[in-house]
């Protein structure tokens, strides 16, 4: 008898349907054959499943067992096939009527004792099950709340193989899990940091407000101890809250990467990722022998903070160039091509020179011009062009340090940022983008018109600073955001001048 069981597998961060066909033939020598491009953990499922069946009280007759995992031309990996394989074997042995499994999607790893263990990617698998019109999905109890985020799909969380069999046979009633999605936003942990704790650095705070309002990338340049990391770590506190669709995107990435906390079925706060400068290119943008999302994708819809930027390996930084432009990462292998999301706000920090004290009034810089040039040359021009704001962060004077608290709180900054974001959403309604950082081509000309006097002013700045065409576009985008924060419909020389002032490395390169 041939039994068929439905499940889903991951391709990138999305799921696709899989059908397990199990044939138990009583003729011929007993054997177990699995076909369908099954990788390591899938091939090992045989040992786990047979032990789980035996220890759960089920006995299979001696048979020649053939398992086909369709579609056969896509590589299968992971341990989530254990549960569907076990149910397929029981259906093939007529312990479970085949029609009882029709329309059900199953996923889960089995221990040798028959207990169900969680698997990564439960959320995208459940989304695929709903798209396929499944009448329900059975997952390990630990994956239950995560899969239950998908509305319109009954999700059943089970603890063991024996419980799944009893449920399928109708011998045990299990209520579908319910996840209060709206309540998850109320459960979120409040940020423990606030910009009111930052004393001084008003210019840097202003730059952060501009960057967050228009989704611009930014680079802090300043001596050690000036507050670059402190400022960066507080950026998520002023970004607009995640919407439900954005939260789903972020959660899918964390679920596939196996980094979703067990008590958190949905990521409802914007991510902040700060990888160490020893990270590899695969660790940063994703990949590996069995591709997984990298830090860039884990920061999707949030902040990717690269501290000590010149200390990163140059080839690692260069792989960021295309993802920063397109907001996604494409990983190509001989057998498959995967795409991971990577729409991040890049925030980086660096010292002005190797010793860190160039331009600091309190410390003497011991670096030679050649050393400074070599230090800065670790960052390529194309990479710096993709960073909109270059912000100088000087050492904080004592008169600022003795203040009880900063002059502005995160709540006030977030209110202004949300107002500017609302202006952009209304302006770009019906278009394929929603923020100033995505303006390009004809849209840049349409939404950033300049008068003749403004053209003359900008032309002089471009020639004096030697700006590239990409840097010129950045200045216009920043100017548009500055105007939005000020409530101005049209750009003016004041907006352009402030935007040019945030291209610090362009200015320094011409000095």
Query: pLDDT tens, 232-270?
Result: 999 999 999 999 999 999 999 999 999 998 888 999 999
Inside any domain, residue 433: no
Residue 320: its pLDDT value, please? 95
Asked if residue 454 lies in contact with residue 491, where contact means CB atoms within 8 angstroms, the answer is: yes
Query: Residue 384's domain is classified under what CATH number?
Result: 3.40.50.300
Inside any domain, residue 46: yes
Q: Is it the case that residue 116 has pLDDT exceeding 90?
A: yes
Q: Is it the case that residue 219 has pLDDT exceeding 80?
A: yes
Residue 406: its pLDDT value, please? 63
* Single residue among 391, 422, 453 that ends a domain in this structure: 422
Q: How many residues does the chain have?
A: 511
Q: Report the alpha-carbon distance of residue 219 to residue 15 in Å, rounded.
A: 36
Residue 507: its pLDDT value, please? 54
Tokens 């904080």 correspond to what residue?
396
Q: Are residue 458 and residue 413 in the same domain, yes or no?
A: no
Q: Are residue 291 and residue 409 in the same domain, yes or no?
A: yes
Asked if residue 24 lies in contact with residue 63, where contact means CB atoms within 8 angstroms, the answer is: yes
Give the long-range contacts of residues 381-384, CB within 8 A, separation 24 or more: 381/468, 382/321, 382/470, 383/317, 383/318, 383/320, 383/321, 384/219, 384/505
Asked if residue 424 lies in contact with residue 436, where contact means CB atoms within 8 angstroms, the answer is: yes
How many domains, the chain?
Answer: 3
Q: Is it the case that residue 336 has pLDDT exceeding 80?
A: no
Q: What percent of the chain has pLDDT over 90?
A: 77
Q: Are residue 212 and residue 254 in the same domain, yes or no?
A: yes
Inside any domain, residue 470: yes
Q: Are residue 150 and residue 262 in the same domain, yes or no?
A: no
What pLDDT band is residue 463 in, cutting at 50, 70 and 90? confident
Q: Are residue 150 and residue 249 in the same domain, yes or no?
A: no
Element (H, E) at 303: strand 303-306
Q: Are residue 193 and residue 165 in the same domain, yes or no?
A: no
If you average pLDDT over residues 156-179, what whole number do you get?
96
What's the distance, CA 137 to chain centroid?
26
**Looking at residue 232, what DSSP letter applies?**
H
Inside any domain, residue 106: yes
Tokens of 236: 């998520």
Q: Is it the case that residue 400 has pLDDT exceeding 60?
A: yes
Q: Are residue 43 and residue 75 in the same domain, yes or no?
A: yes
Domain that holds residue 117: 2-169
Q: Is it the case that residue 407 has pLDDT exceeding 80?
A: no
What pLDDT band is residue 471 in, cutting at 50, 70 and 90? confident
* Single residue among 136, 169, 202 that ends a domain in this structure: 169
* Single residue among 387, 422, 457 that ends a domain in this structure: 422
Tokens of 218: 């930014």
Query: Residue 112's domain is classified under what CATH number?
Result: 3.30.230.10
Inside any domain, residue 181: no
What pLDDT band is residue 469 in, cutting at 50, 70 and 90? confident
Residue 510: its pLDDT value, please? 47
Q: Are residue 405 and residue 266 in the same domain, yes or no?
A: yes
Q: Are residue 128 and residue 204 in the same domain, yes or no?
A: no
What pLDDT band is residue 367 in, cutting at 50, 70 and 90? very high
* The model's pTM: 0.92
Q: Are residue 202 and residue 240 in the same domain, yes or no?
A: yes
What pLDDT band is residue 209 in, cutting at 50, 70 and 90? very high
Q: Are residue 505 and residue 410 in the same domain, yes or no?
A: no
Q: Is it the case that residue 509 has pLDDT exceeding 60?
A: no
Inside any domain, residue 177: no
Query: pLDDT tens, 70-114?
Result: 998 888 989 999 999 999 999 999 999 999 999 999 999 999 999
Q: Are residue 30 and residue 154 in the same domain, yes or no?
A: yes
Inside any domain, residue 179: no
Q: Which among 338, 425, 320, 357 has a CA at the least distance from the CA of 77?
A: 338
């Amino acid at each position: 008898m041939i039994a068929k069981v439905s499940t889903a597998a991951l391709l990138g961060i999305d799921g696709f349907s899989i059908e397990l066909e199990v044939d138990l033939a009583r003729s011929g020598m007993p054997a177990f054959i699995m076909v369908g491009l099954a990788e390591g953990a899938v091939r090992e499922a045989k040992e786990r499943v047979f032990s789980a069946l035996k220890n759960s009280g089920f006995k299979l007759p001696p048979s020649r067992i053939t398992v086909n995992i369709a579609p056969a031309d896509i590589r299968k990996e992971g341990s989530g096939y254990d549960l569907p394989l076990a149910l397929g074997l029981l259906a093939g042995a007529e312990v479970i009527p085949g029609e009882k499994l029709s329309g059900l999607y199953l996923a889960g790893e089995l221990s040798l004792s028959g207990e169900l263990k969680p698997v990564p990617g439960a959320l995208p698998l459940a989304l695929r099950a709903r798209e396929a019109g499944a009448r329900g999905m059975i997952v390990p109890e630990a994956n239950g709340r995560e899969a239950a985020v998908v509305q319109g799909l009954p999700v059943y969380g089970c603890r063991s193989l024996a419980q799944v069999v009893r449920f399928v046979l109708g011998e045990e009633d299990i209520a579908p899990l319910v996840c209060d999605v709206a309540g998850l936003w109320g459960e979120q942990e409040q940020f423990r940091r606030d910009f009111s704790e930052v004393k001084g650095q008003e210019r840097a705070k202003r730059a952060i407000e501009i960057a967050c309002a228009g989704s611009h990338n930014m680079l802090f340049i300043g001596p050690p101890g000036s507050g670059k990391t402190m400022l960066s770590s507080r950026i998520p506190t002023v970004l607009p809250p995640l919407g439900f669709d954005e939260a789903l995107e972020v959660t899918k990435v964390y679920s596939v990467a196996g980094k979703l906390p067990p008590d958190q079925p949905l990521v409802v706060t914007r991510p902040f990722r700060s990888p160490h400068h020893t990270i590899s290119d695969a660790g940063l943008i994703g990949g590996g022998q069995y591709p997984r999302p990298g830090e860039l994708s884990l920061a999707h819809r949030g902040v990717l903070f690269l501290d000590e930027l010149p200390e990163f390996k140059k080839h690692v930084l260069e792989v960021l160039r295309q993802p920063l432009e397109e907001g996604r990462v494409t990983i190509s292998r001989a057998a498959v091509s995967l795409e991971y999301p990577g729409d991040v706000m890049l925030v980086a920090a660096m010292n002005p020179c190797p010793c860190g004290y160039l331009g600091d009034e309190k410390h003497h810089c011991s670096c030679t011009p050649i050393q400074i040039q070599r230090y800065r040359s670790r960052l390529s021009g194309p990479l710096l062009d993709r960073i909109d704001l270059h912000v100088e962060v000087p050492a904080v004077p004592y008169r600022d340090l003795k203040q009880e608290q900063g002059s502005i709180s995160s709540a006030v900054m977030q209110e202004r940022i949300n107002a500017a974001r609302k202006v952009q959403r209304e302006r770009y309604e019906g278009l394929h983008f929603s923020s100033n950082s995505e303006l390009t081509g004809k849209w840049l000309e349409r939404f950033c018109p300049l008068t003749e006097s403004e053209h003359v002013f900008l032309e002089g700045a471009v020639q004096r600073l030697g700006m590239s065409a990409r840097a010129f576009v950045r200045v216009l985008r920043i100017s548009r955001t500055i105007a939005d924060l000020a409530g101005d419909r049209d750009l003016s020389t004041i907006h352009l001048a402030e935007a040019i002032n945030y291209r610090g490395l362009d200015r320094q390169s011409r000095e």
